[in-house]
Amino acid sequence: MKTYQHFIDGQYVDPVSGRWFDSIDPYRGEAWARIPQGDAADVDRAVKAASRAMREGPWAEMKATQRGRLMLKLADLVEQNAQRLAELEVRDNGKLLAEMLGQVNYHPQWWRYYGGLADKVEGRVMPIDKPDVFAFSTKEPIGVVGAITAWNSPLLFIAWKCAPALAAGCAVVVKPSEFTSASTLEYAALVREAGFPDGVFNVVAGYGHEVGSALVDHPDVAKITFTGSDATGARIYAQAAKTMKRVTLELGGKSPNIVFDDADLDQAVAGAVSGIFAATGQTCIAGSRLLVQNSIKDEFVERLVALGRTARKGNPMESDTNIGPVTTPAQYKKILEYIDIAKSEGARCVLGGGPAEDKSLPGGQFVEPTVFVDVDPQMRIAREEVFGPVLSVIGFDDEADAIAKANDTIYGLAAGVWTGNIGRAMRMSKALKAGTVWVNTYRAVSYMMPFGGIKHSGIGRESGIESIEQYLETKSTWISYAQGAPANPFIMR
């Protein structure tokens, strides 16, 4: 078993507590690595190192163009190490190697995009309406950033959060999920190799209530960028208020995937499957509510079930596997509980509906791809995030009915629309209350495209040019060149 260490101030170091915990391979159900169990003392060391890096030394002095160059170097290093990093992720989260390799290979684009953006952060000169004043705004790094990530795509979230943060000139302390820390801890060596000064990028591993909470409480952390569940997000939002931290929250969803009878049904069936069974449903953007126009519902469900039935469960490292294990025992239990809840609420199961019976699968954490029909929009299975391969099919009559049902949720992360009618696509895109709307596609992301949720799905956006603003503060400077008698000191200038 490999024993990992935190990465603080440019060095791998043992946890202050002297404690480690095991990381479990979800496919085999076996411990394979020892992860340092951080606490507030490690967080304090890392935050001090990050604060120092922002205050003095090479990072504080570095020009934005140079920061950008380091980011380009890191992009190349990630590319060269993609296979190794992807395999580490699979070992920890059990998602398909094909998916994780795709993510790690795409990951450098965030560093290249924000590396190029680093020296294009500009202030403005205001044509101010006061005499003899030169007034301008500048953008400054917000301060030390705490980046707390979820277990489903650890390295992708690092790119989404740290690339804009470092482009802005911040320093970061990353807290990976306790279930999937290894790839982030190994990634730190590449950041060092790229030439980032000590203290700019730190990783403190451990549990949420210890490391995550200490990061949120730390008075010298200016901002928390978080990806995880809405319950944890809400806790962090409230806790961050005590030190008036800025927050970006990327949370969960119950995304509607909406199929009209004028859609290309082959595409739509594949899109529905991709929306819910890819990544074993463990994705924030899962299209877990399939809204199908009543005129085609029965035929559509039949085709969907036929395709879902072909999904091969197995070793996530192998290229012909479609469905990997569920990442954690708690998540496995939760998915099975939701399946029971759906059945007890009266939803009818037409595919799967329980743990996989295949004895050749080790580890025991496999759930059958599951489809429920006769789902009432008020049922819990239609309203709560399962984070597993469990689909609720709900019928609708027309556009108005589809919009009403799609928006009847506390979430607002994403939505899919399948239609051959461009006018309908435009109307639906406008009416859907979600951060992302995909038309005739699903689960597409890019470094260029802002991503994030509304309502309980979060606050703020990642990716795209605007995301760098979340790591910047605006300073307004007024310089008077007035001469002669001072202005009346008792009134506002």
Active-site residues: which are they?
Answer: 250, 284
130 binds ligand NAD (CB under 6 A): no
The DSSP symbol for 211 reads I
Residue 2, helix vs strand vs coil: strand
Characterize 422-461 residue by residue with b for buried, 16 or more Cβ atoms within 10 angstroms of its Cβ, and e for exposed: eebbeebeebbbbbbbbbeebbebebeeebbbebbbbbbb
What are the strands, taking DSSP E only, across 190-342? 201-203, 221-227, 246-250, 256-259, 289-293
Closer residue to ligand NAD in complex, CB, 114/226: 226
254 binds ligand NAD (CB under 6 A): no
Closer residue to ligand NAD in complex, CB, 74/279: 279
462: left (phi over 0), alpha (psi -120 to 50) or beta: beta
As measured in angstroms, the least distance from the Cβ of 231 to ligand NAD is 7
Looking at 96, 145, 216, 428, which residue binds ligand NAD (CB under 6 A)? 216
- Determine the residue type at 95: K
Work out the number of other CB atoms within 10 angstroms of the CB of residue 301.
Answer: 22
Contact 281, 259 (CB under 8 A): no
Closer residue to ligand NAD in complex, CB, 68/228: 228
Q: Could you tell me how many residues of this chain bind ligand NAD (CB under 6 A)? A: 30
Residue 458, helix vs strand vs coil: strand
Segment contacting ligand NAD by CB under 6 A, of 78-86, 92-100, 211-219, 394-402: 211-219
- 407-426 footprint of ligand NAD as x/- string (CB under 6 A): ------x-------------
Which is it for strands 370-373 and 348-351: parallel, antiparallel or unpaired?
Answer: antiparallel
175 binds ligand NAD (CB under 6 A): yes
Segment contacting ligand NAD by CB under 6 A, of 204-212, 342-350, 400-408, 439-447: 204-212
Contact 317, 90 (CB under 8 A): yes
- Binders of ligand NAD among residues 302 to 361 (CB under 6 A) are none
Segment contacting ligand NAD by CB under 6 A, of 206-214, 350-358, 360-368, 470-478: 206-214
Burial of 140 (0-12, 13-18, 19+ CB in 10 A): middle
As measured in angstroms, the least distance from the Cβ of 343 to ligand NAD is 23
Contact 66, 298 (CB under 8 A): no
Segment contacting ligand NAD by CB under 6 A, of 37-45, 61-69, 203-211, 395-403: 203-211
Closer residue to ligand NAD in complex, CB, 150/190: 150
- Contacting residues toward ligand NAD, per CB under 6 A: 148-152, 175, 177-178, 207-209, 212-213, 216, 227-229, 232, 235-236, 250-253, 284, 385, 387, 413, 453, 458
